[in-house]
Structure 1
């Protein structure tokens, strides 16, 4: 019996810029200590659940890589970085607070930043990654640590059943594809779950 292929998509832990409402994009902001604690909580959850994960792919930006390192160490699985998993480039908007963005481009600022990476480009590099992943890891289960805007575009593109909801820092979304599904349809097993964040702090 052929096993399903699974992708456990994770938004990285929180950063200081997340707390301030600043747009990060490809600006390489480090994970905060709070974000590292969030990652430890998810690592403990995954370990306690006992499910099998073959490895982790992650964006090469610091906040995602550090999140993935904490998970990989606790779960004792290999870690691979891939620049295709980077956040959307937000151009001039990077580093700007909500008030600054509102003053510059108005309420619909996301549609008005002139030099940001387009949805089409994001989906192209994201699907390039997913297609290669599917060829290399049939029947396997991998975690994928990436970023909010990139992840939202990918989940909407891969799975019609998911709503366009805000993806929380350190949330877990699991998509599954059956081997006999020749149309490459991914189905949600879990979406935007942060139950682990309510757990007690993890002792180091």
Structure 2
């Protein structure tokens, strides 16, 4: 049985500003690095066979912090784990998009990746990993929207995979022909906000 644990990267200024990140190489902010340290400590309590990460900077920074704590380097930086390609709107806020292209910008061709393409990319990754690493514990650092859309497709449940929080931990496992959650969007490692 393949078991895959997904971690969303730590928070960035782009997250706070609601700026489309897509394939931008923006870094974690200070809070994101702190979140990554908390999730790294949590993940160090388990043994991992394989460690894979998106090749985008915010995920790589999160993975570097985790690697230092779990004592295992990242085995592969896989571009299939990238966030949705936002095309022309990458690195913009809604206000900037309206100012640049008008209120109906969503009706224009912004060269964004389709949901279908992103979902198939995610499913392809999961199938590949499940096949190559059957019986192994696989740790994956990726992106929130990409992961959410992948989970919607994998679980055949459009109510799942929404608003996954920064450094949340989600673990899935094969149960015969289907996949099940062992853990979903868990942030118990983060201190409560006061």
TM surpasses 0.5: yes
TM-score by length of 1: 0.84
Tell me, which stretches of 5 or more residues in structure 2 are unaligned? Answer: none
1:125 is matched with 121
Q: CA deviation at 1:108?
A: 9.6
Q: Is the 8 A contact 1:72 1:78 kept in 2?
A: yes
**Match in the other structure for 1:193:** 186
- Structure 1 unaligned residues grouped into runs of 5+: none
Partners of 1:9 and 1:143 within 8 A in 2: yes
Tell me the equivalent position of 2:65.
Answer: 70
- Take 1:113 and 1:102, find their aligned partners in 2: how far apart are those partners? 14
- Residue aligned with 2:190, SS: helix
* Cα distance in 2 for residues equivalent to 1:5 and 1:119: 25
Measured against aligned partners, the alpha-carbon deviations of 1:136-165 in whole angstroms (never above 9, x if no partner) come to 110111111111221111111112356242
1:66-105 → structure 2 map (5 Å cutoff):
66-79=61-74, 80-101=76-97, 104=101
For 1:199 and 1:52, locate their aligned partners in 2 and report how far apart those are by CA, in whole Å.
Answer: 26
Note the aligned Cα RMSD (angstroms): 2.2
Question: Deviations for 1:68-126, whole angstroms, at most 9, x for unmatched residues?
Answer: 111122111231210111111111211111323456565995x8663100112112222
8 Å Cα contact 1:85-1:146 kept in structure 2: yes
Residues 76/168 of structure 1: CA separation in 2 closer, same or farther (3 Å cut): same
**Count of aligned pairs:** 190
Matches within 5 A, 1:50-61: 50-61=45-56
Moved over 6 A (4+): none
Question: Does residue 44 of structure 1 match 2:41?
Answer: yes
CA 1:74 to 1:100, structure 2 compared with 1: closer, same or farther past 3 Å?
A: same
1:41·1:196 contact (CA, 8 Å) conserved in 2?
A: yes
Q: Is contact 1:88-1:149 (8 Å) kept? A: yes
Corresponding residue SS for 2:51: strand
Q: 2:49, 2:35 → 1: CA distance?
A: 21
Distance in 2 (alpha carbons) for counterparts of 1:57 and 1:78: 9
Work out the CA distance in 2 between the residues paired with 1:81 and 1:59.
5
TM-score, normalised by the number of residues in structure 2 = 0.87
